[in-house]
């Protein structure tokens, strides 16, 4: 790699706009499967070096191996997003290897669905801890680095359950809507340093 960080000018390939992420470094949480895996593979296909995070070390390693087999660069890190120290160490590993962190996709999550009448408060707290505080921990771990670079792209994963509600998901809905408020404020605070913060609300 030349070490060149490209402008985010989209080149047109057929009818699809392709963003060149060569030289960029991305962290994707919950990337051992599902939507997180798809994020990681797509970012790698666009040229980014990817930290593949998952609670399951085998799942994270498998996705990192997929990226490397396709000619990309990846680092697998098994850590819970609820563990702020482990998350900070993950960011440190990325910096030690690639000297920057450009992109964070907060995707890790769990479900503990029950009606509110039957829900244990411990399950309510756990879902909020993973979805909301997990995203806070990961964002905090990269925030100052992105400010120093005057560049950062952060994606938070919200949900239609948060935006509109969903029966049996009071804990999940509350956590997902909280991420929208977090996005709004971080977008304001990050703007001066070139940090853009957005939410995705997949309904797949």
Positions annotated as catalytic residues are: 172
| Extended beta strands in 79-185, E state | 103-106, 152-157
Q: Are strands 16-18 and 11-13 parallel, antiparallel or unpaired?
A: antiparallel
Which residue, chain included where needed, has tokens 């990817």? 50
Phi and psi at residue 16, to the nearest 5°: -105, 135
Bridge partner list, 12:
17
Q: Give one DSSP letter per residue of 57-93, joined into a string.
A: HHHHHHHHHHHHHTT--EEEEE--TT-HHHHHHHHHH
User: What length is written for the chain?
Assistant: 204
């Amino acid at each position: 790699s030349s070490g060149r960080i490209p402008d985010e000018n989209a080149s047109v390939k057929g009818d699809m706009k392709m963003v060149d992420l060569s030289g960029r470094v991305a962290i994707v949480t919950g990337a051992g499967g599902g939507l997180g895996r798809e994020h990681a593979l797509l970012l790698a296909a666009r040229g980014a070096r990817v930290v593949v995070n998952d609670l399951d070390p085998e799942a994270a390693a498998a996705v990192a191996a997929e990226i490397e087999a396709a000619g990309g660069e990846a680092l697998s890190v098994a850590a819970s997003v609820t563990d702020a120290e482990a998350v900070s160490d993950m960011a440190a590993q990325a910096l030690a290897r690639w000297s920057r962190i450009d992109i964070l996709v907060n995707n890790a999550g769990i479900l503990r669905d029950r009606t509110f009448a039957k829900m244990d408060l411990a399950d309510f707290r756990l879902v909020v801890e993973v979805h909301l505080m997990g995203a806070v921990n990961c964002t905090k771990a990269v925030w100052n680095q992105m400010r120093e670079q005057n560049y950062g792209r952060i994606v938070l994963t919200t949900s239609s359950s948060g935006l509109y509600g969903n029966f049996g998901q009071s804990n999940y809905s509350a956590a997902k809507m909280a991420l929208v408020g977090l996005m709004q404020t971080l977008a304001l605070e990050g703007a001066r340093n070139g940090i853009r913060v957005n939410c995705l609300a997949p309904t797949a």
